[in-house]
Chains A and B, each alone.
Chain A
Amino acid sequence: MSKREWPLWEIFIRGQHGLAHRHVGSLHAPDAEMAMKNARDVYTRRNEGLSIWIVPSDAIVASSPAKKGPYFEPANTKAYRHPTFFNIPDEVGSM
């Protein structure tokens, strides 16, 4: 085996439709340059994208899965944040 394990990189790709970059997977590479080359070779073999972001996996800060109940719960009780909460009479037309 090699001296040390190569760092893990997370790969994000922007599709062809002007959407945001989306996470597609990860790969190991010794540095950013190789990570970028490998990301192109693995994740854009069928015109999947026009732009690639690579991020060292350990740079990602994630919310705690154990706390996901209480953490996201406040939004559950705020139905008025959704447009469908409000009934607009048909005669008003589209809004």
Chain B
Amino acid sequence: MYAQMVESTGKAVRTIKEMGPVEREFQERINAGVKIEPKDWMPEGYRETLKRQISQHAHSEIVGQLPEGNWITRAPTLKRKAILIAKVQDEAGHGLYLYSAAETLGISRDEMTAQLLSGKAKYSSIFNYPTLSWADIGAIGWLVDGAAIMNQVPLQKCSYGPYSRAMIRICKEESFHQRQGFDIMMRLCEGTEAQKAMAQDALNRWWWPSLMMFGPSDKDSVHSAQSFAWNIKQDSNDTLRQRFVNQTVPQAEYLGLEIPDPELRWDDKTKLYHFGEPNWDEFFAVVSGNGPCNIERLEARQKAWTDGAWFREGLEAYAEKRANDSRAAE
């Protein structure tokens, strides 16, 4: 998902009986649905896994601004431009909520920024694909934000209080994102043949990367068991992917667009859509830095940071001067 490749502790999940009294009390609280708050005792593995998961999620929100920001100056109308700006601003806010949640675990905002800029931190593979036409903005809202919602709705109930609260805020805003995307797709599909072809082309390019957002297939996600036990993951990657396909295929039919998967068919027995296997080689290549835009995205973040240095320094100097002035006046 937005945190697709979170490495967990790698150890087998301990049973309640194997735990010491403190850890047992912690696990029992989670099992009872009681939230864990920043100052509560927590196992080191829980803390470290969450730091990675929440910061990856935050980085994804921040990097996610780039593919869409690409179209702000070229939005087809002033209204579309205002909407897109609002959406991209929301993503910055989402990044902030999540960075704040991660900070409560004992990692600083600046450390996380440094991890992103150095390329050490991961973010969602989806943002390493280019936005080639206006229809891509529609496809991102509809598919990418749609997939994000699928994952984030259950996370609202996760065991860590600050993460759960950030998710609640984000989910409220995310629905606007998906609907504005679908609205773009609807307009294009009602338009000329060329406009409809644009929408189809965007779906063709974004479909498989969107399915990959849910992370590797369950048989290859080795670290899930502990995250399930800690209630920081509620549904398996494949479960969420299936849910997404079931929800999205009828929407594509409504638009009159074709999902680019020759294997796609409704299975009357399972009452689920059967769909083809994403290209996992591509997924792992993008995650490990070799997607179409990995270098460009990182360079854009580094440039924003470097170019903004004078401004941050100015703000600090002003704050310092004001503090000195008020001390002198006392």
Contact surface of A with B, Cβ cutoff 8 Å: 1-6, 8, 25-28, 30-31, 34, 41-42, 45-46, 62, 64-66
For A43, the closest partner residue in chain B by CB is B93
Docked complex Cα distance between A27 and B96 (Å) = 7
Docked complex Cα distance between A1 and B100 (Å) = 18
Number of A-B contacts (CB under 8 A): 53
Q: A5-B110, A30-B316, A65-B37 are in contact. Are A25 and B103 (CB under 8 A)?
A: no
- Is B318's CB under 8 angstroms from A8's CB? no
Which of A25, A30, A66 sits near B318, CB closer than 8 Å? A30
B39 CB contacts on chain A under 8 angstroms? 62, 64-65
Docked complex Cα distance between A64 and B319 (Å) = 32
For B113, the closest partner residue in chain A by CB is A1
B40 on the interface (CB 8 Å rule)?
A: yes
Q: A27-B96, A30-B319, A31-B319 are in contact. Are A2 and B312 (CB under 8 A)?
A: yes
Which of A4, A5, A41 sits near B109, CB closer than 8 Å? A5
B315 on the interface (CB 8 Å rule)?
A: yes
Q: A30-B315, A31-B318 are in contact. List 10 more A-B contacts (CB 8 A).
A: A1-B110, A1-B113, A2-B309, A2-B312, A2-B316, A25-B96, A25-B166, A27-B100, A31-B319, A45-B89
A34 CB contacts on chain B under 8 angstroms? 315, 319
- Is A8's CB under 8 angstroms from B103's CB? yes
- Is B100's CB under 8 angstroms from A5's CB? no
- Is A5's CB under 8 angstroms from B97's CB? no
Contact surface of B with A, Cβ cutoff 8 Å: 37, 39-41, 86, 89-90, 92-93, 96-97, 100, 103, 108-110, 113-114, 166, 169, 173, 309, 312-313, 315-316, 318-319, 322-323
Q: Could you list 23 A-B pairs, sorted by A, with CB under 8 Å?
A: A1-B110, A2-B309, A3-B316, A5-B108, A6-B316, A25-B96, A25-B97, A25-B166, A25-B169, A26-B100, A26-B103, A30-B312, A30-B316, A31-B315, A31-B318, A34-B315, A45-B86, A45-B89, A46-B173, A62-B39, A64-B39, A65-B40, A66-B41
A8 CB contacts on chain B under 8 angstroms? 103
CB distance from B103 to the nearest CB of A (A): 7
Docked complex Cα distance between A64 and B49 (Å) = 25
For A3, the closest partner residue in chain B by CB is B316
Docked complex Cα distance between A25 and B19 (Å) = 34
Docked complex Cα distance between A5 and B312 (Å) = 11
- Is B93's CB under 8 angstroms from A45's CB? yes
- Is A31's CB under 8 angstroms from B322's CB? yes
- Is B109's CB under 8 angstroms from A28's CB? yes
8 nearest CB pairs, A to B:
A31-B319, A30-B319, A65-B39, A30-B315, A26-B100, A42-B93, A30-B316, A1-B110
For B323, the closest partner residue in chain A by CB is A31
CB distance from B112 to the nearest CB of A (A): 11
- Is A42's CB under 8 angstroms from B37's CB? no
A45 CB contacts on chain B under 8 angstroms? 86, 89-90, 93
Most buried by B among A28, A30, A65: A30
B89 CB contacts on chain A under 8 angstroms? 41, 45
Docked complex Cα distance between A5 and B93 (Å) = 19
CB distance from B1 to the nearest CB of A (A): 22
B37 CB contacts on chain A under 8 angstroms? 65
For B316, the closest partner residue in chain A by CB is A30
- Is A42's CB under 8 angstroms from B110's CB? no
For B108, the closest partner residue in chain A by CB is A5
B323 CB contacts on chain A under 8 angstroms? 31
A30 CB contacts on chain B under 8 angstroms? 312, 315-316, 318-319
B103 CB contacts on chain A under 8 angstroms? 8, 26
For B176, the closest partner residue in chain A by CB is A46
